[in-house]
């Protein structure tokens, strides 16, 4: 499998998994989304918005444009998907050579960094997976039902055509 096909699968998986959580949490009232729990980010909403903001930053870095933090003023968890689609669409347009190219960017502390585009994307998708795991733990702590299963193998099984 070529690098582009692999990264494209990860981009599609990331959107699929984020969509599962946005769709599930869209059914919850504000009190549940904003209930504080011990985690990296204290609420379900803030965790989803952190995923959104981080994916926005990585997309801006790939596009060599300045980012904003937060990505937008909206606190709607569904706003994650708009940014996620933009990232997935960016990946779809990237060539093998572009994925292998090093990109210089400042980190969030202003330090100059440089990474291959594919490494930046893998980090971004892995970062989102990490925080989706936290969402699962938080949802269990809130005694929620219908917690999404977002394992990568479940995604691959869902798209299998033969």
What is the residue-wise DSSP string for 101-157?
A: SEEEEE-TTS-EEEEEHHHHHHHHHHHHHHHHHHHHHHHHHTT-SS-----HHHHHH
CATH 3.40.109.10 is right for the domain spanning 3-159: no
The pTM assigned to this predicted structure is 0.95
Per-residue pLDDT reduced to its tens digit, 14-32: 999 999 999 999 999 999 9
Whole-number pLDDT of residue 160: 80
pLDDT band at 162 (very low <50, low <70, confident <90, very high): very low
At 5 the three-state DSSP class reads helix
pLDDT (average), residues 40-56: 98
Whole-Å CA distances, 159 to 13, 16, 26, 154: 10, 11, 24, 9
Per-residue DSSP letter, 99: H
Percent above pLDDT 90 for the chain: 98
For the chain, give every domain's residue range.
3-159
């Amino acid at each position: 499998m070529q690098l582009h096909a692999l990264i494209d699968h990860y981009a599609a998986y990331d959107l699929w998994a984020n969509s599962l959580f946005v769709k599930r949490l869209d059914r919850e009232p504000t009190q549940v989304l904003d209930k504080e729990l011990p985690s990296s980010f204290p609420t379900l909403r803030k965790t989803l918005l952190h995923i959104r903001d981080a994916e926005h930053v990585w997309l801006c870095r790939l596009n060599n444009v300045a980012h904003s933090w937060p990505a937008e003023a909206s606190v709607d968890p569904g706003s994650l998907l708009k940014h996620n689609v933009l990232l997935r669409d960016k990946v779809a347009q990237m060539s093998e050579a572009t994925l292998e190219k090093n990109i210089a960017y400042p980190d969030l502390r202003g330090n100059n960094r440089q990474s291959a585009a594919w490494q930046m994307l893998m980090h971004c998708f892995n970062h989102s997976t990490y925080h989706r795991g936290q969402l699962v733990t938080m949802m269990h702590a809130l005694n929620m039902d219908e917690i999404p299963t977002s394992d990568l193998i479940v995604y691959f099984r869902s798209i299998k055509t033969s």
